[in-house]
Structure 1
């Protein structure tokens, strides 16, 4: 076999060089796409976690201010603004629905047949009428136009009520 002359090999080197350049370009483009996708996923997880924290804080605020001993009315639906990074600008708006009583059970030994419950709250009508353990569902919906966040959080709460309170708030 006769060795190829240097002049005939110059075109092959150019072709191989172009193929290698295309392959390197594809690898760089793929790496960039994967890293930007990962960054978006992490950002979305952060927005979701912030939204859940804001909803939980709003629910805790409703519980702390409205479910005190001897409350007489079901707390109304309300909207709560939340600034998660303390920069003075509202980051999330949380719509807390009016709490819904979903279950009530008579507390054993709280009626006229038994002794008064040791956990009796102020404002109850006394030992003659039974107390009720009630289960409430508090729903908070978080929306944020900037991040596109839209999620709903439910929290359960058990409250002991007198029979009068139960009749008026938890039918």
Structure 2
């Protein structure tokens, strides 16, 4: 009886060792998947911040009352180490709506061939950040209102 039990103990020990190995491998896989998910979330948050910074830069630099809107690529340094972390592609600002301003005209003087009307225009600015390694991308859409003269509105906001 004793001789028959010695082989069973070895088999049970091997089965237990196999189960513990499977548990260790699955715990490792689960933790590495969690690390990847956290890394992806961090990239997404930084890319959104980069896109917002680029849009703010475009809004601050754009003087639609004087210059035409253009598309641009903006380098953004998130961690302020003087190295561009993200390249943000900003589409050409698009005029989506124009409404005659209800405010008083800028001048009571009406010149021939000129209008004293001002327009509240709404512009859509779209910024896209793309990760070259993974192909993941983030797109941010923002709007800004700009007061334009009648002549300028007719020229750039049809």
Deviation at 1:130, TM superposition (A): 2.4
Q: Structure 2 length as normaliser, TM-score? A: 0.87
Deviation at 1:74, TM superposition (A): 2.4
Q: Structure 1 length as normaliser, TM-score? A: 0.81
Deviation at 1:143, TM superposition (A): 2.3
Question: RMSD in angstroms over aligned alpha carbons?
Answer: 1.8
2:92 paired with 1:98: yes
Deviation at 1:147, TM superposition (A): 5.5
2:136 paired with 1:152: no
Deviation at 1:146, TM superposition (A): 4.3
Match of 2:120 in 1: 133
Rg larger in 1 or in 2? 1
Taking a change above 3 Å as real, the CA distance of residues 16 and 6 of structure 1, as seen in their structure-2 partners, is: same
CA contact (8 A) 1:105 1:133 kept: yes
Q: How does 1:1-171 map to 2 (within 5 A)?
A: 5-67=1-63, 71-108=65-102, 110=103, 116=104, 126-127=107-108, 129-146=116-133, 148-171=135-158
Structure 2 gaps of 5+ residues are 111-115
Corresponding pairs, count: 152
Q: In structure 1, the residue corresponding to 2:78 is in which secondary structure? A: coil
